[in-house]
Amino acid sequence: MTETRTTSRRLPRTVSAPAALPPAGLAGLDPEWSRLFEVTRSGSAGGVTHGWHLLDNGPQLDALGVLPVGTILCVHGNPTWAYLWRGLLSAATDAAATGAPAWRVIAVDQLDMGFSSRTGSFRPLKRRVRDLGDLTDALDLAGPVITLGHDWGGVVSLGWAVDHPELLAGVMLLNTAVHHPEGDPIPAPLRLALGRGILGPATVATPAFLATTLALAHPPLSTEVKRGYRAPYLTSARRGGIGGFVADIPVALAHESRPELDRIAAAVRSLSVPTLLLWGPRDPIFSDRYLDDLVERMPHARVHRFEGAGHLLAEDADYAAAALLWLGDTVACSPADAPVLVEPVETAVSATRAAWESVGTHPLWHYLDELQCSDETALVDMQPAPRMVSWRLLSRRVRQIAAGLVHIGVKPGDRVSLLVPPSADLTAVLYACVRIGAIVVVADAGLGLAGLTRAVRGARPDFVIGAAPGLMAARVLRWPGRKISVARFSAPMARLLSVEHTLAELISLGQARLDAGDALPAEPAPSDPAAVLFTSGSTGPAKGVVYTHGQLSAVSRALFLQYGVGVGTGLVAGFAPFALLGPALGARSVTPDMDVTAPKTLTATAVAAAVAAIDATVVFLSPAALVNVVATAQALTPVDHAALAGVQRFLSAGAPISESLLAQAAALMPQATAHTPYGMTEGLLMADITLEGIRAAAASVARPQTADAVGRAAVVPTTPVAETPADTATPAGGVCVGGSTATTRIRISALDASGASVGELSDQPNVTGEIVVSAPHVKDHYDRLWLTERASRRGAVPGERWHRTGDVGHLDSAGRLWVEGRMPHVIVTAGGVVTPVGPEQRIETLSDVSRAAFVGVGPIGTQQQVAVIETVPGARRVHRAPEPLAAAVRAAVGSPVAAVLVVPGLPTDIRHNSKIDRSRLSRWAAGILSGGRWVKP
């Protein structure tokens, strides 16, 4: 007796009932979509016929007089019905009415579900796949067909897909699964529903399972939408299919449906059609591990994770727009390329070397090979006491760790999350990973626990290498991946943290492999992924940015070309990525003694000590760190001053930095040229300006300006406006970040009247728009964020890699870039578009103001301008600015300001401690002005 039959016997007896039409008035459901269709079961000697209920926009397309380019076959899961797909039916029909390619959408109610027939019999997976085939045969469905499935409807749709290759043109999936590893527990909600004595009451006798599923929406569903989902399942007699679906979950090898699930899972690997995976990571049932499995089976798939969305992704996010966008990109595309045969190692190595030569750079580990016999200093650990590491030792350690990682099963393409503070250990582990082709995942602790959790879970590492704090967080928050510790723990603690190996063990295992003559794997190629680096998350959840080996090498080349950082350079990096690039540049490097999660902990004496430790000639610090360095300068000794006098170049970047702060820092390093580079995680070095350049730029705009024009962006209907004559130009304000670096191109996509960047990429001066950059070291793509990646390349020249930065600014007539804020912070008033940085700068010229933020409140197009300020001396509570101060602020801005609010402190992002969170302030100000509580933002 199979488990299915045993489980299904715990369900109430099912009854037969004919198909019916949904009641009128269900929210979002057009009654014209509903159809009833009679289908005779295949293989039925008696010609058993069942009624199906479908939602079909075909008749509406006929009425529009348009011919569909294909059909989207939508299959719901449990306990939903075709109502799940109403958004796609509506969007596809509306798009066809505008002249876009027309897609017929057929959303089925599976038998025993929705408003289709109640068959009175149990229907395992194999039968359901055949049921769907019977329906499409009866419909005489012709290709091309794109399948779309969710939950267990995803499995059924994939079963149909692999059985109908002659019709199949593509596959789309929302949260689902085709494989569950033997021995792994099934998700808790399903395990509970399958419990003895619970299955029938939870799924059939009561609507508990349905109610629990509907409660998974983010945000909660409206009463009207819940009514729509409940409509077919109002009585226990109508809920038999819900219990039957749960009973059909193949939780064991002996389950009746396990062979069919295994068949589908294996066959999916052969699908070469375009594939789109849209995912809600907050799903307690189909978690990211199931997404990982699908990506492994269909590596050509486009993937987008909607941060914050969950199991009911179709309700949580605009999946319909994403699906139609993908279809627009894909409908004319050919299937994915066939797999490439693996070449012998000798040929692969030769091809890899040729590939590196062709891109004009060398691998990240190049100097570790070149200098492996050198006893010169490669890096210095400052904590707990300075420790020198030679090139010889670093090179040997990297090879040992690399061989040890191979020994424990780390393969090229595996993801390795690094939760190690900046140190010699981190450097050695990182270079060992990239040498063997593993992909390093770097999400620094500055993101906070919530941000780190989203990052690590989203990246789905196969291995986690960490120090105690990172491993403890991984344990408590259940981060994925096999655990490796950089330190030794007691046996009980190692078990608690699930530590399988220590770094010392890897070194020993690796040396044994090397002693036995085992070679490291073939070198990765320039086009192979090397790292996933997470953004700061300052304007939303942190995003994983994927870099190839070639792109990371291009970053090091850009640093060399711009600042001369190379062999023999001593680099002090108060920003971990640049410390990690030191060995790739052949430079000796050190991270000063500081808490990397809190940049303001860096002191002037710690910088001086780091400079002295390696005779540094280049210093890189974040703006937040720089504030405290300047504030603690009085503690410097004559010896410290002497060390700092040897610095030749000083850099600070990551957030806007004032001329006065840069000048104060430069005074501590009197022989150094002070630079403030412009870049982002997606492109670390895009533009550069010196302190002298900042002063020259300020002088070039220090002339009278008309109040109405200052701070207001040049806007366009569809194309950029013409350049204003130089003698009457009124710049929009902003922070000048200089000209493009040696390998970078910078363009502007002009804003329209709604604040959208719609202009073609242009280097025309004095036009405000989104800043768009191109360089060999721009990121490859966003990790599992297809929609975000697509948007970041919008308007790019075909065949070229451009990145939309999300920053807004303009180029001046000298080719210098001015940053005016972030695209989400652009203010769209009735009088035009306003960018925030210019008004903030003018407000901050007032003696009573220490810092300012300028935000918009209200609907786009009629937003009101609000200034939020920190005063001198600082305020203890939130209040409206006194009238004299408010009048001075309004005069400085030069355009209507609805309110001037004083706060004890402006909110900043976690990681940089310097970027003002304007989005948060906008929401807060809106609450204050609408009568909310006067609380701190």
Q: What are the φ and ψ backbone dihedral angles of 552, each rounded to 5 degrees? A: -65, -40
The CATH code of the domain at 3-330 is 3.40.50.1820
Percentage, residues of the chain above pLDDT 90? 67
* Cβ contact 895:712 at 8 Å: yes
Q: Is the pLDDT of residue 390 over 70?
A: yes
For residue 288, give the 3-state DSSP assignment.
helix
pLDDT, mean of residues 311-326? 96
Q: Is the dihedral of CA 481, 486, 488, 490 positive or negative?
A: negative
Q: Do strands 302-305 and 275-279 pair parallel, antiparallel, or not at all (unpaired)?
A: parallel
Sheet of 570-573: strand order equals: 387-390, 377-381, 588-590, 570-573, 618-621, 649-652, 673-675
What percentage of residues in the chain have a pLDDT greater than 70?
88
Beta strands in 778-877 (DSSP E): 781-782, 803-811, 817-822, 827-829, 832-834, 849-857, 864-871
User: Are residues 242 and 110 in contact, defined by beta-carbon separation less than 8 angstroms?
Assistant: no
Structure tokens at 106: 């057929």
Q: Are strands 482-485 and 499-502 parallel, antiparallel or unpaired?
A: parallel
**Side chain identity at residue 633, one-letter code:** A
Q: Residue by residue, what is the 3-state secondary structure of 19-72?
A: CCCCCCCCCCCCHHHEEEEEEECCCCCCCCEEEEEEEECHHHHHHHCCCCCEEE
Phi, psi of 619 (to 5 degrees): -125, 130
Is residue 507 over pLDDT 90? yes
CA angle 561, 594, 457 (to 5 degrees): 80
CATH class of 357-524: alpha beta
For residue 547, what pLDDT band results from cuts at 50, 70 and 90?
Answer: very high
The CATH class given to the 836-929 domain equals: alpha beta
* Range(s) within the chain of domains with CATH label 3.40.50.1820: 3-330
Radius of gyration of the chain (CA): 31
**Any long-range contacts for 496-505 (C-beta under 8 Å, 24+ apart)?**
497/471, 497/472, 499/471, 500/408, 501/404, 501/408, 503/401, 503/425, 503/429, 503/465, 505/404
Residue type, 846: L
Supply φ then ψ for residue 517, to 5 degrees: 90, 10
Q: What's the confidence (pLDDT) of residue 7?
A: 54
Residue ranges matching CATH 3.40.50.980 in the chain = 357-524, 564-676
Q: What is the mean pLDDT of residues 574-596?
A: 82
Q: How many helices (H) and strands (E) does the chain have?
A: 33, 39
Is residue 888 over pLDDT 70?
Answer: yes
**By the 8 A CB rule, do 686 and 744 touch?**
yes
Sheet with 70-75, edge to edge strand ranges: 34-40, 49-56, 103-108, 70-75, 145-149, 168-173, 275-279, 302-305
Name residue 722's amino acid. A
Q: What is the pLDDT of residue 539?
A: 63
Q: How large is the angle between the packed helices 549-563 and 576-585, nearest 10 degrees?
A: 90
Q: How many residues does the chain have?
A: 937
pLDDT digit string, tens, across residues 181-190: 766 767 666 6
CATH 3.30.300.30 segments of the chain: 836-929
DSSP label at residue 205: I
Question: What are the structure tokens assigned to 649, written together?
Answer: 């170049």
Tokens 């294909």 belong to 70
Residue 147 three-state SS: strand
- Is it the case that residue 730 has pLDDT exceeding 60? no
Residue 688: pLDDT above 90? Answer: yes
The answer to whether residues 157 and 259 touch, using CB atoms and an 8 Å cutoff, is no
Specify the CATH number of the domain 564-676: 3.40.50.980
Average pLDDT, the chain: 87
Tell me what pLDDT residue 451 has.
77
Question: Any idea which residue has 């390349």 for tokens?
Answer: 793
For residue 333, the model assigns a pLDDT of: 41
Question: What's residue 708's pLDDT?
Answer: 33
Identify whether the C-beta of residue 170 lies closer than 8 Å to the C-beta of residue 274: yes
Instruction: Look at residue 21 and tell me whether its pLDDT is greater than 90.
Output: yes
The whole-number pLDDT of residue 731 equals 47
| Angle between helix 288-297 and helix 258-268 axes, rounded to 10 deg | 60
The predicted pLDDT at position 932 comes to 86
Q: Supply the pTM of this predicted model.
A: 0.87
pLDDT of residue 183: 64
Question: Whole-angstrom Cα distance, residue 721 to residue 262?
Answer: 60
Predicted local confidence at residue 469, as pLDDT: 87
CB atoms within 10 A of CB 798: 4
H-helix segments, 740-816: 786-792
The mean pLDDT of 340-361, rounded to a whole number, is: 55
The CATH number of the structural domain formed by 691-825 is 2.30.38.10
Reply yes or no on whether the pLDDT at 911 is more than 60: no
So what's the pLDDT on residue 727?
31
Pairing of strands 781-782, 803-811: unpaired
3-state secondary structure of 88: helix
Which pLDDT does position 1 carry in this prediction? 34
Whole-Å CA distances, 788 to 87, 322, 391: 21, 11, 40
| Range of lowest pLDDT (343-357, 510-524, 722-736, 841-855) | 722-736
* pLDDT value for 714: 42
Separation between Cα atoms, residue 547 and residue 366, nearest integer Å: 18
- Please give the residue that has the higher pLDDT: either 394 or 419: 394
